[in-house]
Amino acid sequence: MASRGGFSSRLGFIAAAAGSAVGLGNIWGFPYEVGQGGGAAFVVMYLIFCFILCYPVMVTEIAIGRKTEKNPVGAFNALGFKKWNFVGKMGIFSGFLILSFYNVIAGWAFGYIFEMAAGNFGIADQFGEFVKDVFKVGAYGLLFMGTTAYVVSKGVSGGIEKAAKFLMPTLIIMILALVVYSLTLPNAMDGLKFYLVPDFSEINAEVVTSALGQAFFSLSLGMGALITYGSYVNKKENIVSAAAFITLADVGIAVIAGMMIFPLIGFMSGGSMDGVGSGPALIFVTLPQIFGTIGGTLGAIAGTVFFVLLCFAALTSTVSLLEVPVAYVVDEHKVVRKRAVWIVAGLIYLIGIPSLLGNGYSDFFTNFITYPGAEGATDFLSFIANVANDSFLPLGGCLIVFFAAHVWKKHNLDEELANGAPNYKGSFVQKYLNFAIGYLAPTILAFIFVVTV
Ligand code: PFF
């Protein structure tokens, strides 16, 4: 363990794993998916998936990581099931895809720090121009990837732990303050109604898959990120309660981010909720407005601080995304850590270029694919995000829990979970986890996968 580095404390692991979970997925992804998925009915599906399906997957990933002290491919080998390491390979591939588009969005958020600092609240109307300026936003993205690579090259403990412990609570306080503020705006209640009062007729196969994909993406599951982080965890850690805390924190932050955004959309649309389904652009066109209504220096300061915090939240997530392939290359191919980091980061940046170009700069990537029955074309970034989040992650999660329960076997998993959790054996939680990991999660995930593919 010592040679790979490990988290220095109990809080360190929880902070880093929560840092991985909390990111753009909560503040950018969740509101836009809710907007496209018809509102509160999507939220209900999402909550069910997070607690019933994803929590058991999270426990399993961390346990496999801690047991083997390996990356997602090495973990399957170490347990003696080499044939299963394709699941780890698939996870690494998903990580490549996700980081490639995630970094583009992070670059936008990074650019917004300067726009807010300059008091340019009108950026909301110029967003299309902003993302089309690929040399500028591409440079922001390059800086973001560089920072991620630098942090990962230093090793996972230390920097990440410290930053996450301080910045996450600050972000929560800031969002809560904005929730209170946005609720005072005219027509805020129309937004709140859209967000909190479910209309179950909105639920269809597409909404179910997006809610499932969003749950996996937001909790950093299905690609071995938490196998990797788990590999640095101490045997004294109580995985069952740590995972519960991480799930609650992540879901909690997504839910309050929605409380901040939807009242604001109610306000901006005069109560009609027009524009709520606008997709990945959603927070970038709505958030500047909240700071615009505050106005002046105070608005500029609030906007700047907000996007700085959002970038830190994104950074703790990009770090975990990059750590997965890096741990693999370092462990399995014996490449020196520093070198592995810069090569992999560079490669992923290049893979992200079509996602960068597909926001108005290149026609080809902007109108990349037209789904049957869809109104318009889908851009490259959204296409990759859909494939990775809605298909690869749930499929990966399904295979991981199936493997743990039926190939590695439940009693081995239980043995690992009991380390650091003296009351685990014989508890209700154990019974539930056994049921969920053995039957519920693999069945539901496989079913949804088959129905929707
Ligand atoms: N959970 C992160 C977010 O919500 O922004 C994104 C992410 C990080 C997904 C790490 C997957 C992962 F392995």
Contact 223, 94 (CB under 8 A): yes
Q: How many angstroms separate the alpha carbon of residue 22 from the centre of ligand 1?
A: 7
pLDDT value of position 156: 66
pLDDT value of position 9: 72
Tens digit of each residue's pLDDT (9 = 90 or more) over 274-286:
999 988 999 999 9
Nearest CA to 170 out of 336, 64, 22 is that of: 22
415 φ, ψ (degrees, to nearest 5):
-55, -45
Name the pLDDT band for 4 (thresholds 50, 70, 90). Answer: low
Return the structure tokens found at 452. Answer: 């929707």
Name the pLDDT band for 7 (thresholds 50, 70, 90). Answer: confident
pLDDT value of position 22: 96
Given a cut of 90, whether residue 450 has pLDDT beyond it is: no
Q: How many angstroms separate the alpha carbon of residue 179 from the centre of ligand 1?
A: 24
Average pLDDT, the chain: 93
What residues pair up with 378 in beta bridges, in sequence order?
A: 369
pLDDT value of position 158: 63
Q: How many angstroms separate the alpha carbon of residue 317 from the centre of ligand 1?
A: 5
Segment 321-335 shows an average pLDDT of: 93
pLDDT value of position 117: 97
Name the pLDDT band for 3 (thresholds 50, 70, 90). Answer: very low
pLDDT value of position 443: 93
Full residue range of the structural domain in which residue 419 is found: 2-452
Q: Which atom of ligand 1 is nearest to the CA of 219?
A: 1
7-to-14, 94, 232, 275, 323 alpha-carbon distances in Å: 9, 25, 6, 43, 14
pLDDT value of position 2: 35
Which of 217, 218, 323 most suits a substitution to test ligand 1, by most atoms within 8 Å of the C-beta? Answer: 217
pLDDT value of position 374: 82
What residues pair up with 369 in beta bridges, in sequence order?
A: 378
Tens digit of each residue's pLDDT (9 = 90 or more) over 379-390:
999 999 999 999
Which of 98, 216, 390 most suits a substitution to test ligand 1, by most atoms within 8 Å of the C-beta? Answer: 98
Segment 350-365 shows an average pLDDT of: 97
Share of the chain above pLDDT 70, in %: 97
For ligand 1, atom 10: residue with the closest CA: 220
Which of 317, 319, 326, 384 most suits a substitution to test ligand 1, by most atoms within 8 Å of the C-beta? Answer: 317
Q: Which range (152-156, 170-174, 270-274) has the least confidence? A: 152-156
442-to-53, 75, 209, 451 alpha-carbon distances in Å: 9, 20, 15, 14
Q: How many angstroms separate the alpha carbon of residue 69 from the centre of ligand 1?
A: 21
Name the pLDDT band for 452 (thresholds 50, 70, 90). Answer: confident
Q: How many angstroms separate the alpha carbon of residue 17 from the centre of ligand 1?
A: 10
Tens digit of each residue's pLDDT (9 = 90 or more) over 368-379:
999 988 888 999
Name the pLDDT band for 1 (thresholds 50, 70, 90). Answer: very low
Q: Per the structure, how many domains does the chain have?
A: 1
Segment 249-271 shows an average pLDDT of: 96
pLDDT value of position 445: 87
For ligand 1, atom 12: residue with the closest CA: 220
Tens digit of each residue's pLDDT (9 = 90 or more) over 108-123:
999 999 999 999 999 9
Residues whose beta carbon lies within 6 Å of some atom of ligand 1: 20-21, 23-26, 98, 217-218, 220, 223, 225, 317, 320-321
Reported ipTM: the value is 0.99
Q: Which atom of ligand 1 is nearest to the CA of 313?
A: 5
Tens digit of each residue's pLDDT (9 = 90 or more) over 84-142:
999 999 999 999 999 999 999 999 999 999 999 999 999 999 999 999 999 999 999 99
Is this model's pTM higher than 0.90 or not?
Answer: yes
Q: How many angstroms separate the alpha carbon of residue 409 from the centre of ligand 1?
A: 28
Q: How many angstroms separate the alpha carbon of residue 54 from the centre of ligand 1?
A: 13
pLDDT value of position 375: 82
For ligand 1, atom 11: residue with the closest CA: 220
Beta-carbon count within 10 A of 366 CB: 17
Given a cut of 50, whether residue 196 has pLDDT beyond it is: yes
Q: Which residues contact 228 (CB under 8 A, 6 or more apart)?
A: 65, 71, 72, 320, 323, 324, 327
Q: How many angstroms separate the alpha carbon of residue 187 from the centre of ligand 1?
A: 33
Given a cut of 80, whether residue 273 has pLDDT beyond it is: yes
Q: What is the CATH number of the domain that holds 233?
A: 1.20.1740
